[in-house]
Structure 1
Amino acid sequence: MRNLAVAVTLALFGTTASAEVLLYKPTGPYYVTQNQHVLNHTTPDDFTAPDGSGVGKTMLVTTYGPTLSVPQRTRPWVDATNADIWGTALGIPASLLSSLVTELQWQASGLSTTTPITNPGTCPATPPLTPHRPAILFLPGAGMPCFAYTAYLSELASWGYTVYAIDHPGEPPYLEFLDGSGGARSAFPPLANWTFPQFEQIYAHRVADAAALLRRGPECLRSLVEQQSSSEHFAEAEQAEQQQQSAQQYYSLSGDGDNDNGHVDLSTFFVFGHSIGGAASAGIMAQQHSSSPSSTTSDPSLPPLLAGANIDGWFFFDIWDLHGNGSASTKPYPDLSPRPFLEIAGQHDPPGPDATWTNFSAAQSGWLRDVG
């Protein structure tokens, strides 16, 4: 969160409240289209449920994908409510946060398999996209909205990837629904001091949310990128979640090149996240398949998860042994190999204890390279 505050401050440096400031300009050869859907998804024992019932009822999925449509206008990075909330938390005037804009295009047309690059100003020598490029699933940190990661997600989309970002309503202070139908408020302030039991529940929510989305299958996932409103797709997505089809029926489907976004293979995924979302990336990969001799974990209803990454998050396979003193439980860590998994950590001063990274790395049977 400190890095976000620094980045926003630098972007706003020297500007006035009336000036429009571009948050980030993606460097890839494509422009970026955005879509969003509110999907039915039940989360039992959800202390963050917006209505206070203790049962979560929805999840919010925002997609980012490549497009050849040239931006004709900018869009605000945050809505007025979030500008007030996060401006207070970060010590930045809300009017300045409201001046940040993006070139994300709401529900612009996507790409087909044979789409050539026609944006010579960015990457003139790049050939058309090849089929079967995996999709990307992103999971945010505890209490963080996915819009905080707009630069990351739009950068990936500008290079031809389709990204699915999942928000858990009731956990971030406020989530605006981009179709204009309202939003979801939380009982928790920004930068909340979560307890360890709450962290464990949030981690479980992340893994469950990821599994629920991935199980919908390629046809439903592709429809989330297309030009439909949240309300139009709501019933369809609920029906897809209830279908009892086999993994072979769901994941034998992939892009055929005749439809928008046919360049992406929605039968395979790369998954990454920040903080607790990074931990959940490893968690959903372990749920999909683990090669650890002590584990029989395997969920054939999930698509192949080809690789993953954890940005600065504890692993939650045995979070109570964070200090590595062996006084807590000794739950086994999964072996995710042969699938690659990237661990990225920022420098902390003073450094805090984290035996979870040591134990996770030790459980992997593949090679390990330390680059910093």
Structure 2
Amino acid sequence: MLLAAASAAVATVPTPAFAADVRLPSRRGASTRRLVLPEPTGPHHIGTVSLHLVDRSRPDPWVPAESVRELMAQVWYPAREARRLPLAPWVSPAFGALINPPGSGYELPLTHARTGAPALPGHRPVVLYSPGFGMERTAGTAVVEELASHGYIVVTIDHTHDSPLVEFPDGRVATSAVPPPTGEPGEEERLIAKALAARVADTRFVLNRLSRPQRALPGGVWHAMDLRRTGMIGHSLGGATAAQTMLEDRRVTAGANLDGAMSGSVLTAGLDRPFLLVGSEGHDRAGDDTWAAFWSVLRGPRLELQLRRSGHLSFTDYQVLLPQAGIPPEDLADAFGTIDGPRSVQVQRAYLLAFADRHLGGRRGTLLSGPSAAYPEMRFLP
């Protein structure tokens, strides 16, 4: 059912598995219930479109027989009102069938974004998003939609064969090709290094492609991207990907890691641009040597926060969706902590938006200056 792999997934050292093992419980005989994502709070309507991108300069790192690296990315952006266009589904049909088998009694969420809506005019900062190891680009949709509703263009990336399932426009499905553990010494470190290198290369390729017009983008979207103001957010291994990408590509000017262990050469080289660390309850640099090492070599603005009563998977949409499916709180506590899911989303949205506003949007604000009575769940660490 749900938590077959949760004991692995809650670790801050990234491990594949969780999303592929999520199954919604059956409600057979009951009326169908649709799960819902929190509504974004910004003033803008949202559009979204998926991009199929092919990197012909390298083979797939997980399946070398595939001579090119194929990726799916998704662009979320402030849009003109377009009620005639359909709301985009939360996940692709194949991934939806994986986690919500037919006849379960549930319908997966629709997003708040209209598929292919024309963009609002203007030049807008860009935020890249990388999910956790073994997770999919849609895992942080609640935060992604919030940023888009406040004027950012967000590009989420599926890391093929690292994600449990990636569906391409022609119906082909790429499943995880991460090798099963054998227990060999150093195996986990080598696996993480391989995944990190693949993810950084994926991200830089996506950024390269965004730097030139894309025919698949709806009217006005490409012209609205201000790639001179590009940031990156990642959860778990996606957070390490954000930091390592910043080291290797100066086009990324600010980054945030949501509860992921750090790895890569950035641990010794450091960064001279803004970086945010957000940990779950009990995860901080006092207990994570990788965070301590990374913190010591940061030369730009830096901030460490901790979300009280949260768990490693509190930084995903599952924190609000699984309780709607009737999963008992005690079955979720190891992976998600005890924080209320919608409140967790609200707090994360506020601080990630404030970080983007300060370092990409040119709006200072005061939320990042110290603890806030409005958000007592967020702890500032010295």
TM-score range normalised by the length of the shorter chain:
0.5 to 0.7
**How far is the alpha carbon of 1:161 from its aligned partner?**
0.8
- Taking the aligned partners of 2:70 and 2:204, their CA distance within structure 1 comes to 14
Counterpart CA distance in 2 for 1:158 and 1:198 is 36
1:226 aligns with 2:211: no
For residue 278 of structure 1, what is the aligned residue in structure 2? 239
Match status 1:334 vs 2:325: no
Which amino acid letter does the alignment assign opposite residue 153 of structure 1?
A: V
SS of the equivalent of 1:59 reads strand
State the partner residue of 2:83.
71
The residue aligned with 1:100 is 109
> Residue 367 of structure 1: CA displacement?
5.5
Match of 1:316 in 2: 263
The CA distance in 2 between the partners of 1:350 and 1:281, in whole Å, is 18
Q: For 2:89 and 2:31, how far apart are their aligned partners in 1?
A: 13
CA change 1:36–1:368 in 2 (3 A) is closer
Aligned partners of 1:48 and 1:56 also within 8 Å:
no
Corresponding residue of 1:265:
226
CA RMSD of superposed structures (Å): 3.7
Structure 2 residue matching 1:141: 3-state secondary structure: coil
Question: Helix, strand or coil for the counterpart of 2:203?
Answer: helix
Q: Secondary structure at the match of 1:219?
A: coil
Counterpart CA distance in 1 for 2:261 and 2:74 is 25
Give the 5 Å matches for 1:104-253.
104-113=113-122, 131=123, 133-177=124-168, 179=169, 181-188=170-177, 195-216=188-209, 218-220=211-213, 223=215, 225-226=217-218
Distance verdict in 2 for CA 1:268–1:94, change over 3 Å: farther
**Structure 1 unpaired stretches of 5+:** 114-130, 228-258, 290-303, 319-330
CA shift in 2, pair 1:68/1:332, >3 Å? closer
Q: Which runs of 5+ in 2 are unaligned?
A: 1-5, 11-17, 182-186, 305-379
Instruction: Give the superposition deviation at 1:270.
Output: 0.8
Rounded to whole Å, the distance in 1 between the matches of 2:120 and 2:66 is 41
Q: CA deviation at 1:47?
A: 5.1
**Structure 1's 368 and 24: CA in aligned 2 closer, same or farther, altered over 3 A?**
closer
TM-score (norm 1): 0.64
Q: 1:352 to 1:201 in 2, by over 3 A?
A: farther
How far does the alpha carbon of each residue in 1:72-123 deviate from its partner, in whole angstroms, 9 at most, with x for none?
A: 55443234432342348xxxx873553422232111100112xxxxxxxxxx
CA 1:276–1:56: 2 relative to 1, 3 Å: farther
1:308-363 per-position Cα deviation (integer Å, ceiling 9, x unaligned): 11111111126xxxxxxxxxxxx9622312x2100111125999952110001011
Which residue of structure 2 lines up, in the alignment, with residue 252 of structure 1? Answer: none
| Aligned CA distance change for structure 1 residues 261 and 27 (closer, same or farther; 3 Å) | farther
- Structure 1 residue 268: Cα displacement: 2.9
Shift of 1:158: 0.9
Structure 1 partner of 2:49: 35
Q: What residue is the counterpart of 2:367 in the other structure?
A: none
Instruction: Give the corresponding residue for 2:71.
Output: 59
1:357 and 2:371 matched:
no
Distance 1:76 1:98, change over 3 A: farther
Give the match's secondary structure for 1:182: coil
CA distance in 1, matches of 2:103, 2:257: 31
Match of 1:23 among 37, 53, 62: 37
Q: Deviations over 1:8-49 (max 9, x none)?
A: 999x99x95523343231111112111112111147574533
What percentage of residue pairs aligned between the two structures are identical? 27
Contact 2:54 2:68 in 1 (8 A): no
Residue 128 (structure 1) aligns with: none
Write the distance in 2 (CA, Å) between the matches of 1:173 and 1:94: 22
- On the 8 A contact 1:137/1:271 being kept in 2, the answer is yes
Shift in alpha-carbon separation, 1:208–1:313, aligned structure 2, 3 A: same
**C-alpha separation between the residues in 2 aligned to 1:94 and 1:176?**
22
Contact kept? 2:37, 2:111, Cα under 8 Å: yes
- The 1:41–1:16 alpha-carbon spacing in structure 2 relative to 1, beyond 3 Å, is farther
Give runs of aligned pairs for residues 85-96 of structure 1, distance below 5 A: 85-87=98-100, 95-96=104-105
Report the CA distance between 1:201 and its aligned residue: 0.9
1:187 shift after superposition: 4.3
Higher Rg: 1
Q: For residues 62 and 357 of structure 1, do their structure 2 counterparts lie closer, same or farther at Cα, with a shift above 3 Å needed?
A: same
